[in-house]
Amino acid sequence: MRELTVALGERSYPILIGSGLLAKPDLIVSRLPSPQVMIVTNTTVAPLFLDRLKQGLDQRAVKVAEVILPDGEAHKNQETLALIYDALLANRCDRTTTVIALGGGVVGDMAGYAAATYQRGIPFIQIPTTLLSQVDSSVGGKTGINHPRGKNMIGAFWQPQLVLADTETLTTLPPRELSAGMAEVIKYGLIRDLPFLEWIEANIGRLMACDAEALSEAIERSCANKAEVVAGDERETAKVGGRALLNLGHTFGHAIEAGLGYGQWLHGEAVAAGTVMAAELSRRLGWLSQADVDRIRTLFAAAKLPVVGPALGTEKYLDLMGHDKKVLAGKLRLVLLKGLGKAVTWGDTGKDDIFAAIDACCKAA
Amino acid sequence: MRELTVALGERSYPILIGSGLLAKPDLIVSRLPSPQVMIVTNTTVAPLFLDRLKQGLDQRAVKVAEVILPDGEAHKNQETLALIYDALLANRCDRTTTVIALGGGVVGDMAGYAAATYQRGIPFIQIPTTLLSQVDSSVGGKTGINHPRGKNMIGAFWQPQLVLADTETLTTLPPRELSAGMAEVIKYGLIRDLPFLEWIEANIGRLMACDAEALSEAIERSCANKAEVVAGDERETAKVGGRALLNLGHTFGHAIEAGLGYGQWLHGEAVAAGTVMAAELSRRLGWLSQADVDRIRTLFAAAKLPVVGPALGTEKYLDLMGHDKKVLAGKLRLVLLKGLGKAVTWGDTGKDDIFAAIDACCKAA
């Protein structure tokens, strides 16, 4: 078992990574303030892992309740959130009850947000079961739901007590979701860790073949990068750099997700195509070479990720990007690359350059 | 102008108390991270004070948007909250926009919760316009909405940047609401400040006649008490005492509010009757004398507050109290009085004693 710490003072917590951790309930029980939990999962994950988790907790006399949500980003909304609140109230959960998120990013975001806001905040444990959530969304405390007018517009920072990443859960993951997770793995290399980027390029074959050791290494190095960034900028308030750098490709990507309707493209797929746009824009600013951009495209393609955006129309891209949270005081701020392994936040990009970068990287309208 | 500080480290903020502060926009403008605000108010308060606030901000080139909510505790719910989110999104408010709550406790709780959760948290200023909100709900960072199954069940701790209590707004307050605020003023004396309790007893006539100087004194001493308690226990995590003491009378009171349906009794009215129940229970435990209980009843009566609860039936009281957030790991914890000016949290009360205290203090079913 590998162990990392997210260093946030009194809100610090461990990330445990390894094979078969779901079958070790003591890792969880030792961190519960009272022997009552509410497991939040979904219709896809429940048949695979819920019984294993429940049995272990039952055997240790933990009172277990559960709520099973419909699966998918399309359900990351107020109505689904209400199902969690209703279950917490129906089971008379109090401030010492721990919410356990068992599933991917959507389950984690919603369970975490319910934990952040039920009775003004109760304890929370993340058990991510997708590569994307193991390397990204389960670490760092971002929780929330979508609003019809924008992704993650309603939410809270709420740190878990523990993140438990069982690599065994990845063996049941559909190939498309493995690829989506790889988009964020590659992101860590691109924004701040060139040696890791080179390691991914050298090992992309093993990773895509689900080699357990390669996946563990990728998860650990991804989480270590994320933990460092989060520790330096917990609430994304840094004016330059900081946590915003984790959003490489995300402003373009959110436009893709919103423009197509949430749930059409996976988040990681949108981030991949969005990162190519950000790289193309960086090239136009003279920061990346054509060879750098080609190298990024090649790696995403090897991870079976899209490198071309959908045909939304350039104006629509820009309009949807204006609703993104990276807009500060009316100005569009983007995460761009000064080089491979070196991301920056940049608020001074001309509209024409953004237009041209989108045009060059999406299908014709 | 009187000024207090709520000492919460990097989340510290001032409370300004005085007459005519609404007409001094610089107090607000100096604390805005960007010149954009969203004023949240309601249909009752807007005609009285909204223009005054807007004009001052307009003159200082602040971009002002507003959302006017329906008035009343019955609207402190998800649907009304959605109106605030919609307004924030429609006005393209970003993370530097400041939400200003202009109104009573319901407006403050909902505006604060919207600020806590819009884009994972944006700045927030409280301008309370009722006595209750000036002495209680605007200070301390509790925000939230009701759930059909329980009051304030969904919420967050979110500290404002500033609390601005303009005593001039109290001149338009209906007498019933002045009384409701007085319940919380009296509470501070009862739980931790016997000299203040004696001052209130000596000045209840002036207070009920809306004497400006007496009201300012009462607000300042109430806020000073609350600020001290909050500074010592920001998130109500203290196992003994701490912030929970502010809930004297509230567990019984919540049962009254929920049992009658929110909005029938004012919060302060329910707290007054609930405090009498808590005092009666304290007497049965041998901690208060009959004379103490009578003294409490007399003071509430002088403030034109109910000292007898409605006829819900004792079982229903207990059932509704079990849903209160003061339940820890299944055990009913109450705030009781060891003496006048000395509250304690107590988890060891027999059901029979609670039954008897309720019976003695409510109308026959």
Each residue of B16-33: pLDDT tens digit?
Answer: 999 999 999 999 999 999
User: For B154, which residue in chain A has the nearest alpha carbon?
Assistant: A118
CB A89 to CB B330 under 8 A?
no
Cα(B225)–Cα(A250) distance, rounded to whole angstroms? 46
Catalytic residue among A254, A284, A297, A326: A254
The confidence band for B241, taking pLDDT boundaries of 50, 70 and 90, is confident
Mean pLDDT of chain A: 94
The pLDDT value given to residue A166: 94
Here the ipTM equals 0.87
The pLDDT value given to residue B92: 92
The answer to whether B232 touches B255, Cβ cutoff 8 Å, is: no
pLDDT tens digits, B310-361:
999 998 998 888 765 555 555 688 999 999 999 999 988 888 899 999 999 9
Helix (H, G, I), strand (E, B) or coil at B151: strand
B323 is catalytic: no
- Selected from 1.20.1090.10, 3.30.420.40, 3.40.50.300, 3.30.420.10, the CATH number assigned to the domain covering A175-361 reads 1.20.1090.10
Percent pLDDT > 90 in chain B is 84
Is it true that domain B2-172 has CATH number 3.40.50.300?
no
Q: Which residues of A289-307 are buried (b: 16+ CB within 10 A; e: fewer)?
A: eeebbebbbebbebbbbbb
Cα(B96)–Cα(B113) distance, rounded to whole angstroms? 16
Closest CA to A256 of A215, A186, A311: A311
The CATH superfamily assigned to B175-360 is Dehydroquinate synthase-like - alpha domain (1.20.1090.10)
B267 is catalytic: yes
The pLDDT value given to residue A327: 58
pLDDT tens digits, B67-121:
999 998 889 999 999 999 999 999 999 999 999 999 999 999 999 999 999 999 9
Say if A95 is an interface residue toward chain B (CB within 8 Å).
Answer: yes
Say if A82 is an interface residue toward chain B (CB within 8 Å).
Answer: yes
The pLDDT value given to residue A101: 98
Cα(A76)–Cα(A53) distance, rounded to whole angstroms? 23
- Tokens encoding A228: 């460092």
The answer to whether B50 touches B144, Cβ cutoff 8 Å, is: no
pLDDT tens digits, B193-238:
999 999 999 999 999 998 889 999 999 999 999 999 999 999 988 8
B10 is catalytic: no
Mean pLDDT of chain B: 94
User: For A144, which residue in chain B has the nearest alpha carbon?
Assistant: B120
Helix (H, G, I), strand (E, B) or coil at B160: coil
Task: Find the range with the poorest average confidence among B116-130, B257-271, B291-305.
Answer: B257-271
Is it true that domain A2-171 has CATH number 3.10.180.10?
no
B226 is catalytic: yes
A254 is catalytic: yes
Q: Which residues of A touch B155 (CB under 8 A)?
A: 117, 119-120
Strands A2-6, A13-18: pairing is antiparallel
Q: Which residues of B touch A322 (CB under 8 A)?
A: 92
Tell me how close the Cα of B32 comes to any Cα of chain A, in angstroms: 12
Low-confidence ranges of chain A (pLDDT < 50): none
**Could you tell me the residue ranges of all domains in chain B?**
2-172, 175-360
Helix (H, G, I), strand (E, B) or coil at B307: coil
User: For A331, which residue in chain B has the nearest alpha carbon?
Assistant: B94
